[in-house]
Amino acid sequence: MLGTTVKTALIALLLFIGGCSDRAELSYVPADGVVLAFGDSLTQGVGSTDGGDYPHQLQQLIERRVINAGVAGEVSAEGLQRLPTLLDEYQPTLLILLEGGNDILRNLDKTKLKQNLAQMISLAQQRQIDVVLLAVPEKSLFSNSAPLYGQLAQEYSLVWEPEIIANLLRSPHYKSDPVHFNNQGYQALSQRIASLLKEHNAL
């Protein structure tokens, strides 16, 4: 009986260690490093006032330069065309990718959205730039994130956040309109991203 218990515990320990070895990690962002926050209106900060956008608030939290590269209304195909120039210009240590909301709102092809995001991730990884992927929910008030984000995170071994955008969009307290945050919402988003970076050794 004891032998079986020990054997079971040993198997569980090995599985745990194996799972830990697959855990995605981030490179440390040095004090002079650059973080590129890339995406659409949620990155640009539509609905915020007086520097309330999440990249500005994140910069204050992590004491690293954070570039706000958000463009309101952008779909993923446009983002894919825009990203390479920014990666080459800023040479960031880290890319925070929050893209796809407009594709989903406009009922664009999700297969193409996934392909566009995959190409953006590849563009960064080819340049040895780490990627943090922020998932966007399906087109429904109480929906969870679109499954394609989790699929991409697994395929490309990414650090990702599956819930924060969906959770904030469910709370009127954090919103300036049905699809954008207010300063408090962007603050909550920046705090979650900062925590994620610390959890994965980027800070």
Q: Cα separation of 52 and 178, whole Å?
A: 18
Residue 12 confidence (pLDDT) above 50 = no
Cα–Cα separations (whole angstroms), residue 6 to 10, 17, 91, 198 = 6, 16, 50, 35
Q: Cα separation of 160 and 169, whole Å?
A: 18
Q: Given the structure tokens 């992590």, which residue do they identify?
A: 62
Instruction: Indicate the domain borders of the chain.
Output: 27-199
Give the mean model confidence (pLDDT) for residues 11-19. 38
pLDDT band of residue 140 (cuts 50, 70, 90) is confident
Q: Which fold has domain 27-199?
A: Rossmann fold (3.40.50)
Cβ density class 186-199: b for 16+ within 10 Å, e for less:
bbbbbebbbebbee
Q: Cα separation of 161 and 150, whole Å?
A: 9
- Whether residue 44 contacts residue 99, with contact meaning beta carbons closer than 8 Å, is answered with no
Predicted local confidence at residue 141, as pLDDT: 62
pTM for the structure as a whole: 0.88
Kindly report, residue by residue over 56-86, the tens digit of the pLDDT: 999 999 999 999 999 999 999 999 999 999 9
Q: Token digits for 193?
A: 């991203």
Predicted local confidence at residue 143, as pLDDT: 81
Helix/strand number for the chain, H first, E second: 9, 7
